[in-house]
Amino acid sequence: MKKFTLLAAVLAVALVAVPASASVQNIKISGSVDSTFVHRKNFDLGLSVRDESQSLFITQSTLQVDADLTDQVSATIGLLNERVWEQDVSTSDHTDLDIYLAYVTLREMLYSPLTLVIGRQVFSYGNSLVMDATGTNNQVGGGDSGLDNIAEDLTIATSLDAFRAILDYNPLTVEIVYAVIDPGTVTLANTDDAIYLVGANATYELGDDMGSVVEAYLWNKENESVKIGNTGAKADVIKVIGLRGSTNPIEGLNVQLEWAHQGGVRTLNNASAVVNQTRNAYALQAIVNYQIPMFEEYKPTAQYVFTKVSGNSKKEADAGVDYKAWDPFFEAQGGGTIYNAIFDLSDLVIHSVSFSATPMEDVTVKSSLHSLWRESGCSESRCDTITLRSPDGGTVGYTGNSSTGGHLGKEFDLDITYDYTEDVQIGASLGFFHAGSVFEEVNEDTAKQLLVNLNVAF
């Protein structure tokens, strides 16, 4: 009852704010109700003893209030509820109204090019290979979501408490970000156990005929909590530097290339001893989009995406060896696919080919084929443990077949979207993932997924 009282209070404030305060220029109320049927089977690829199968309905509801004030000031509050149908109401997460947005925007702060955005917010850069405020999109970023331990990869309960300074020097835009990932101890105790993120992202539009854009970024994530109780341990630090370019060499063709490197220190406990390793990992992604000039009334588009994120080819707890496995950091790619739900974006080579078209008005069809390999490979003598992540929060470890080259599997997806009206969209996604040669034949069960949703936005 308390949650619904909170909702009513927010709506009441929105309705009375205009006559009550002269500083309010405009108020906009928006939101959405998205109901989805989820059917999944064999996401463990037959590795566990349980017969994995899941069929359920979920509803994700949002309510957002945007208020424009005087002097280039605005405020935003967003509420979110995610729940499984007929879930036991005694489990509070399934009836919570969570504040997933709460920020203010100050435009032309101090001088005209500067905009400040302060509070809980969402933001992303480039193609979300490295930085997206949603965080890794195959697991819940916290325990607030009603989909925690149920369908974690489908949650939208993702945002960061952050401070962003946006400097717009058209055609150059620079953003400086400071975010608190985990505040750790918030009392007056002399304990530094927080997790912070600091970074900068610069985008420059070249202004040529090809619409070329260059983007550079630098991020630093520091976890002080690993030092607590560990004598001689260093903070776990991930430093990311990267560069992305996008251009359109001919009409209908877009080409993008992105490279990033991770340095810093990896800290872990190994047999009761503290191990500090130097991070030395990289990520590479190439994207080609082509709008096919034939049958233009059907808007045919082909896409190829190559993604490579490094893996650790030697024992990960060896203090004398650099740690080369890419950390997923705050990626948000591959959402809704099976491979994204079960594999972290680390130690992977992914080839993705897709084709989309509009066979009739308001209907879009897209077919995709993905092939996944281990970047570190598998030799005749060794194949490091593979970790499969389950959408219900569990994991399964598997020592791969060492006589293979590291092929993890292939996935086929078919997505259909129907724009019923401007406000209502109906979608269906069917996917199959067939395990590759890394997995023994007895454990090569095909993973299946069906998602059908109805989304109403207002």
Q: Say which residues have a Cβ less than 8 Å from residue 438's Cβ, sequence separation at least 6.
A: 374, 378, 383, 386, 400, 401, 404, 406, 407, 408
Which tokens belong to 301? 């588009």
Q: Could you tell me the sign of the dihedral formed by the alpha carbons of 368, 374, 377, 378, in that order? A: negative
The number of distinct structural domains making up the chain is 1
Which tokens belong to 246? 């996008």
State the DSSP code for 120: E
Q: For 393, left (φ over 0), alpha (ψ -120 to 50), or beta?
A: left
Q: Could you tell me the sign of the dihedral formed by the alpha carbons of 39, 44, 45, 51, in that order? A: negative
Is residue 24 included in any domain, yes or no?
no
Q: Say which residues have a Cβ less than 8 Å from residue 5's Cβ, sequence separation at least 6.
A: none
Q: At residue 445, does pLDDT exceed 50? A: yes
> How does residue 9 score in pLDDT terms, banded at 50, 70 and 90?
very low
Is residue 365 included in any domain, yes or no?
yes
Q: Say which residues have a Cβ less than 8 Å from residue 405's Cβ, sequence separation at least 6.
A: 373, 377, 378, 437
Is residue 23 included in any domain, yes or no?
no
Structure confidence by residue, pLDDT tens digits, 96-120: 788 999 999 999 988 889 999 999 9
Is residue 98 included in any domain, yes or no?
yes
Residue 49 CA to residue 77 CA, distance in Å, equals: 45
Q: Which residue from 146, 54, 131 is spatially nearest to 92, judged by alpha carbons?
A: 146
Range of the domain at 318: 2-18+30-457
Radius of gyration of the chain (CA): 23
Calculate what percentage of the chain has a pLDDT beyond 70. 84
Is residue 231 included in any domain, yes or no?
yes
Round the average pLDDT of the chain to a whole number and report it: 86
Q: Are 135 and 158 in contact (CB under 8 A)?
A: yes
Q: At residue 435, does pLDDT exceed 80? A: yes
Is residue 448 included in any domain, yes or no?
yes
Highest mean pLDDT among 25-29, 198-202, 229-233, 396-400: 198-202
pLDDT at 356: 98
Q: Could you tell me the sign of the dihedral formed by the alpha carbons of 225, 230, 234, 236, in that order? A: negative
Q: At residue 203, does pLDDT exceed 80? A: yes
pLDDT at 8: 44
CA distances from 453 to 31, 236, 333, 363, 425 (A): 16, 40, 20, 15, 8
Q: At residue 90, does pLDDT exceed 70? A: no
Count of beta carbons in the 10 Å neighbourhood of residue 170: 8
Residue 130 CA to residue 241 CA, distance in Å, equals: 10
Which tokens belong to 61? 């509801």
Residue 162 CA to residue 198 CA, distance in Å, equals: 10
Q: Are 427 and 436 in contact (CB under 8 A)?
A: no
CATH number at residue 220: 2.40.160.100
Is residue 193 included in any domain, yes or no?
yes
Residue 118 CA to residue 101 CA, distance in Å, equals: 11
> How does residue 2 score in pLDDT terms, banded at 50, 70 and 90?
very low
Is residue 25 included in any domain, yes or no?
no
Q: Which residues pair with 125 in a beta bridge?
A: none
Q: Which residue from 327, 309, 341, 384 is spatially nearest to 44, judged by alpha carbons?
A: 341
> How does residue 133 score in pLDDT terms, banded at 50, 70 and 90?
confident
Q: Are 173 and 203 in contact (CB under 8 A)?
A: yes
Mean local confidence (pLDDT), 223-227:
80
Residue 125 CA to residue 244 CA, distance in Å, equals: 10
Residue 163 CA to residue 426 CA, distance in Å, equals: 36
Count of beta carbons in the 10 Å neighbourhood of residue 264: 22
Q: Which residues pair with 257 in a beta bridge?
A: 245, 286
